[in-house]
A and B are shown apart, each in its own frame.
Chain A
């Protein structure tokens, strides 16, 4: 059963190839069904492999499948090999599962788009890249998936590249990711120079040669990989691209935020847990950056008017939580939150897509209102996700976030406080979104009034509704994956234990402490929720609560523009106007001018009279004779 693992990335890849060859001929909607089928088949294979893994126990659950020898160069030997273990399978299950739902949803959402087949082609390649990233058994193979994910995100974010903003958002995502990729590459080089291998596990793996790293090298590798993870997972200060990535079609946002791409950074940090656990400084950095990102992004989310931007900043904030957990050493909590987040964030984006689709491409929250009367199913499912992310018990978000915060409380109390504050903000901004979109007055009437195909907001077709329902069930019940009082044998997520082993941070906390912390979480969430509903349901505008600094995301884009953009522009302008025009053009034109003026001077010598040439020859000959005579000593 485990040997079917190679089919996991192969099936979406086959879907990609099939769509590339015959996608245009299939057209709308068959190309979509082909793409969906490829990913769904991959999900089925994932379930089979998962079942095969469950039959084994302990270290038997680590299975390596070597596909072929990829780079055998001197001391460097890299296989194209898949690592199937509880961690990678957890990722594969939710990546393929949620991607299938998103594909299904896209069949309805993208209907009528002129590049319909191309959209599914990119989606399939995206999923295939993500699966390679997750399943790679060495850093280099993971890097292939890492880059594939980056490239696909670029294509998909700028899918509607006819729009200037979409094209530049794609470029922005790509450049931010490249910054992180530099860290990844340097980390690979450093690891190889220290250990001579790039494989994660096994007798010849990196984790078997941990003693080869000095304390400095350990921290350096961890921080370089964290740079990569911060780029991919949008951590401070590399997060602005994720908000701009909203320019892509909404299913792409769902795919990037829930299933693929941004979770890659968290996965990478969990994958290198034996190394990370040895470096206390790196852990502190990861946890601090995570907590700070969570807080900053949550504050920005409070003041955004675009429904997708609110969700984007909430993703950044939740990713911050995950990194807080990773830094704490609570890898299980990070994965738990990642899975739960995949459920409710996928649901939120698909719900937002349904809202946008139903209200004729309107994204401004201030021009929505009272949609619950027109889109009942979307309202109910979106509501589940809202309560889940806000951390209302007993939905999945409450358990996952509680797990993160409980561990943080034991190890980094200061960061726990930031996390708790962020939890309140999370409940607040999500409730604000909910209040503006689904409650209040029918503000969309005034906005929509003069549009041509205006009509009442309508519910979406079944291919879009079905994923919403499935995800709503998962978002509600996701907490069952890892309840605090579960016995280890039953708990589905505790099976990650062998992967993390003794690196897992397990605080000794009294049951009463856990209860108190959980109650505090719940109280904070309810408080945030109540405040937001009280303020925002009746009135849609509170300028005091939306300061410009937050609307412009703490001026981070302006800071980057001033610190990097404008100096870069000045350098480019200097190169164009001074270096190119004066130095390079000057040299080229100078040679030409020199040749021309020399020719103009020398042409006077060419008189055309034979005797003048003869005179020249004679004088030359005489001069030569005199010179030779002087050399010979005849003339003094």
Chain B
């Protein structure tokens, strides 16, 4: 017995929306970072779902690329976050607007 793919897609949509909204509304850099991870994994879920549905291994292999990108992002992103937290305690994302034009 297999679950209808639309449930997987609904779950993926829900996860993505949670991630996107979280990214927009939260100020904490660490939480925003987790929201990005949530969105990436929602995309992964959609990839796998379509791979199963269309019987195409391309979607599953794409997941590995996304995982690699996510891992790389974690390394760089966490490094930045740690560096930020060392400099100033409890800083929010809005405190960093040095790139204002």
* A interface residue numbers (CB < 8 A to B): 602-611, 614-615, 618
Residues in B neighbouring A618, C-beta threshold 8 A = 20, 24
B23 to chain A: closest residue by CB? A614
Docked complex Cα distance between A603 and B99 (Å): 10
A-B contact pairs, 18 of them (CB 8 A): A604-B101, A605-B101, A606-B99, A606-B100, A606-B101, A607-B101, A608-B96, A608-B97, A608-B98, A608-B99, A608-B100, A609-B93, A610-B93, A611-B23, A611-B32, A614-B23, A614-B24, A615-B24
Docked complex Cα distance between A615 and B96 (Å): 17
Contacting residues of chain B (65-101) with chain A, CB-CB under 8 angstroms: 93-94, 96-101
Docked complex Cα distance between A611 and B20 (Å): 10
Which single member of A606, A608, A610 contacts B32 (CB below 8 Å)?
A610
B26 to chain A: closest residue by CB? A611
Docked complex Cα distance between A604 and B101 (Å): 6
Docked complex Cα distance between A606 and B100 (Å): 5
A614 to chain B: closest residue by CB? B23
Number of interface residues of B (CB under 8 A): 13
Contacting residues of chain B (42-73) with chain A, CB-CB under 8 angstroms: none
**B100 near A610 (CB under 8 angstroms)?**
no
A-B interface, 8 closest residue pairs, ranked by CB to CB distance from nearest? A608-B97, A606-B101, A608-B100, A603-B101, A608-B99, A610-B93, A614-B23, A609-B97
| Residue among B24, B32, B96, B98 with most chain A CB within 10 A | B24
| Residue among A603, A604, A609, A618 with most chain B CB within 10 A | A609
Docked complex Cα distance between A67 and B18 (Å): 94
Closest Cβ–Cβ distance, residue A362 to chain B (whole Å): 79
Closest Cβ–Cβ distance, residue B5 to chain A (whole Å): 17
Residues in A neighbouring B93, C-beta threshold 8 A = 609-611
Residues in A neighbouring B24, C-beta threshold 8 A = 611, 614-615, 618
Docked complex Cα distance between A603 and B94 (Å): 18
Docked complex Cα distance between A30 and B91 (Å): 92
Docked complex Cα distance between A604 and B100 (Å): 8
Docked complex Cα distance between A610 and B99 (Å): 10
Docked complex Cα distance between A606 and B98 (Å): 10
Residues in B neighbouring A604, C-beta threshold 8 A = 101
Residues in B neighbouring A614, C-beta threshold 8 A = 23-24
| Residue among A603, A614, A615 with most chain B CB within 10 A | A614
A605 to chain B: closest residue by CB? B101
Docked complex Cα distance between A610 and B24 (Å): 9
Closest Cβ–Cβ distance, residue B76 to chain A (whole Å): 15
Residues in A neighbouring B32, C-beta threshold 8 A = 610-611
Docked complex Cα distance between A618 and B35 (Å): 13
Residues in B neighbouring A606, C-beta threshold 8 A = 99-101
Residues in B neighbouring A611, C-beta threshold 8 A = 23-24, 27, 32, 93-94
Residues in A neighbouring B97, C-beta threshold 8 A = 607-609
| Residue among B32, B97, B101 with most chain A CB within 10 A | B101
Which single member of B20, B23, B100 contacts A607 (CB below 8 Å)?
B100
Residues in B neighbouring A602, C-beta threshold 8 A = 101
Docked complex Cα distance between A603 and B24 (Å): 22
Docked complex Cα distance between A614 and B25 (Å): 10
Residues in A neighbouring B23, C-beta threshold 8 A = 611, 614
Closest Cβ–Cβ distance, residue B9 to chain A (whole Å): 14
Besides A607-B101, A614-B24, 19 more A-B contacts (Cβ < 8 Å) are A602-B101, A606-B101, A607-B97, A607-B100, A608-B96, A608-B97, A608-B99, A609-B93, A609-B94, A610-B93, A610-B94, A610-B96, A611-B23, A611-B24, A611-B93, A611-B94, A614-B23, A618-B20, A618-B24
Docked complex Cα distance between A605 and B101 (Å): 7
Docked complex Cα distance between A602 and B94 (Å): 21
